[in-house]
Structure 1
Amino acid sequence: MKRLMLALMTVGLLFTGIAHSNDAQFERGIGGVESLRGASELETTRPADDFKRYPRDQGVIDSDYVYQPPLIPHTIRNYEVSLNANKCLSCHSWKNAKEMGATKISVTHYETREGQVLSDVSPRRYFCQQCHVPQADAKPLVGNTFERVDALRDSVE
């Protein structure tokens, strides 16, 4: 009995798939999915988007909300951050920051979850781009009505 039910369900699913495959959106290969960049067929190649512009020497970028990780005020194109290397640390480590004129990474980046202080960056804080992103001069993809936290607004303005 179980095998018969399984066979009937399988046949039903096959017929459902055939019925849906006749829709025009599925024939075009996009499956009815539309991204923020619009409908784009998978089979066609469209021109690449322009590179984002990163203003030079924009200094420290003000925070917009409490506990916001600092934004990166420069491009990070071709920066390697892998298990074997971390280009960010060549300037921002405590050892190199003063000489390079860069901001030191926070002491919290040297602590484990249990609060133990390490002599090197904690593995959980090693991959900088998990939290920190470069600030590009780019048009937003979607509308935004976000407003800065009142306490931060007063300290900056």
Structure 2
Amino acid sequence: MRTLLNNLAKCVLAGALVWVGVGPAHAADAAASAPVKLQGLRGGTPLNQDNPPAGNRQERDHGPADRDFVQQPPLIPHTVSGYQITRNYNKCMDCHAWQKTKASGATKVSVTHFRTRDGQELDNISPRRYFCTQCHVPQTDAKPLVDNTFQRARGLQ
């Protein structure tokens, strides 16, 4: 009889512990299933519609900006509105091609832009580096989309 009571007491205790453990877990599940208001960068615009462009403006032409990390592609320090970069024509090369930089005063295209992915040196811009605005972007006065604590690389400060 005593063994039966001990077993019964153990079962009641185990049941109580399970019930106590389930209580907070159940409360956490209820809180997790409560509706959460999320605000995306699209501002509630449905995915099948375009967002109107933000009211940002490009900065006026000025000297090159400092870089924030070591391998950062230089920012474009002038407007590129209306610039055309197609398979057959690249407006950037009107000033940045090596043979035109003296007359234009623009920075020469880096020698790295003349190498293929296999390391072969070409005598013209490599196709993988031809579309400048894939890496280089104009400077702008836009506010950051999200708060952040980004700091420039220590060696560049």
Taking structure 1 as the reference length, the TM-score comes to: 0.69
Q: Note the residue ranges of structure 2 that are not aligned, 5 or more in a row.
A: 1-36
Size of the aligned set, in residue pairs, is 121
Within a 5 Å distance, the mapping from 1:131-146 to structure 2 comes to 131-146=135-150
How far off is 1:116 after superposition?
1.7
Whose Rg is larger? Answer: 2
Indicate the SS of the match to 1:109: helix
Residue 81 (structure 1) aligns with: 85
CA RMSD of aligned residues (A): 2.4
Match of residue 109, structure 2, among 102, 105, 110: 105
2:61 maps to a residue whose letter is D
- Mapped to 2, the partners of 1:58 and 1:137 lie a distance apart of 13
- Mapped to 1, the partners of 2:126 and 2:94 lie a distance apart of 16
Indicate the SS of the match to 1:97: helix
Q: Note the residue ranges of structure 1 that are not aligned, 5 or more in a row.
A: 1-31
How far off is 1:141 after superposition?
1.3
How far off is 1:85 after superposition?
0.8
Indicate the SS of the match to 1:129: helix
Percentage of pairs with the same residue: 55
- Mapped to 2, the partners of 1:67 and 1:138 lie a distance apart of 22
- Mapped to 1, the partners of 2:44 and 2:87 lie a distance apart of 37
2:45 maps to a residue whose letter is S
Taking structure 2 as the reference length, the TM-score comes to: 0.69
